[in-house]
Amino acid sequence: MLARQRQAVILEEARRTGAVLVSDLVAKLGVSDMTIRRDLDVLAGRGLVEKVYGGATAILGKSTDEPGFEAKSVQQRTQKEAIAELAAKLVRPGTAIGISAGTTTWTLARALGSVPGLTVVTNSIRVADVLRDSPQPDRSVVLTGGVRTPSDALVGPVAVHSLRRLHLDLVFLGVHGMAEGPGFTTPNLTESETDRALVEAGRRFVVLADHTKWGIVGISTIASLDEANVVVTDDGLAEPARQTLAEHVGELLIAQVEDADPEGDGAG
């Protein structure tokens, strides 16, 4: 098991139970004590757990916490690029698609440069800017308008009104978190309504979410897991989470991410 995958298992366990012990993780994962401690150091350095004597506790954050675009854009960059490349293969020339605001969807927009004849509807100024600079002369970009959020989404009645009059072939949604009960969530109540309108405008609904989004719950649900036709994530997602998603969503696509396993497996 690669270090990134091992850390995803540790993080999921911490979020599920609230805390993890080094001794339990050694037995569960079959690696050395030092390997687990290095994994916890990595997770603590990313602000995902807090190290305590003998283990670590989960840092779940508040359900209304909403990081800004710049803060999110540097997180899991390699995973987001792999997800975007895989998701771009779902887009056919000449179709009408919707792209929500977010750093993963912004990365997707950059991956669509070679697809001709697209009509793209988005509530993200950053996504619109990327697509506007595309070399494809036959591309149309529609920006919904609305009130800007900390994560650079345009939301509110203006955005919702415009989206409810549209019919799109495919909608790509970035999410703050995903979990079995709450589904796909956001920390912003107004953004939830706008994202819901975007989902309803699409014939097919695709969620883009890296493995760290699993177990995170925002204050408002956008859609249930069962509503997603496709979820595109990365291979750092732990096996139990994969099984849960596979049971609920139409199709689960796993992007393979290069990993030299810099943390090492130690004696394990």
For residue range 150-163, list pLDDT tens digits in order. 778 899 999 999 99
Tokens of residue 113, six digits? 């440069």
* Among 44, 35, 33, 101, CA closest to 67: 101
User: Amino acid identity of 25?
Assistant: L
3-class SS at 30? coil
Residue 102 to residues 1, 115, 125, 195, 244, Cα–Cα distance (Å): 30, 21, 10, 11, 24
Positive or negative: CA dihedral 198, 200, 205, 206: positive
**143 or 60, higher pLDDT:** 143
* Among 138, 146, 74, 136, CA closest to 106: 74
Q: Where residue 259 falls among pLDDT bands split at 50, 70, 90?
A: low
Range 89-101 average pLDDT: 97
Residue 237 has pLDDT above 80, yes or no: yes
Q: Where residue 4 falls among pLDDT bands split at 50, 70, 90?
A: confident
Residue 73 has pLDDT above 80, yes or no: no
Domain ranges of the chain: 3-58, 69-255
Q: Where residue 262 falls among pLDDT bands split at 50, 70, 90?
A: very low
Which segment of 31-40, 47-56, 117-126, 250-259 scores lowest on mean pLDDT?
A: 47-56
Q: Where residue 169 falls among pLDDT bands split at 50, 70, 90?
A: very high
CA atoms within 13 A on the CB side of 85: 11
Positive or negative: CA dihedral 132, 233, 209, 59: negative
Range 77-86 average pLDDT: 94
**93 or 67, higher pLDDT:** 93
Residue linked to tokens 């603590």: 44
Torsions phi, psi of 227, nearest 5?
-80, -20
Range 24-41 average pLDDT: 93
* Among 210, 184, 171, CA closest to 80: 210
Tokens of residue 33, six digits? 């004590």
For 69-255, the fitting CATH number among 3.40.50.300, 3.40.50.1360, 3.30.70.20, 2.60.40.10 is 3.40.50.1360
Identify the CATH class of 3-58: mainly alpha
Residue linked to tokens 């070399």: 135
DSSP code for 92: P
CA angle, 118 then 227 then 236, to 5° = 80
**259 or 126, higher pLDDT:** 126
pLDDT of residue 13: 83
pLDDT of residue 142: 95
CB 175 within 8 A of CB 80: no
Q: Where residue 18 falls among pLDDT bands split at 50, 70, 90?
A: confident
* Among 231, 194, 192, CA closest to 213: 231
How does the average pLDDT of the chain come out, rounded?
Answer: 88
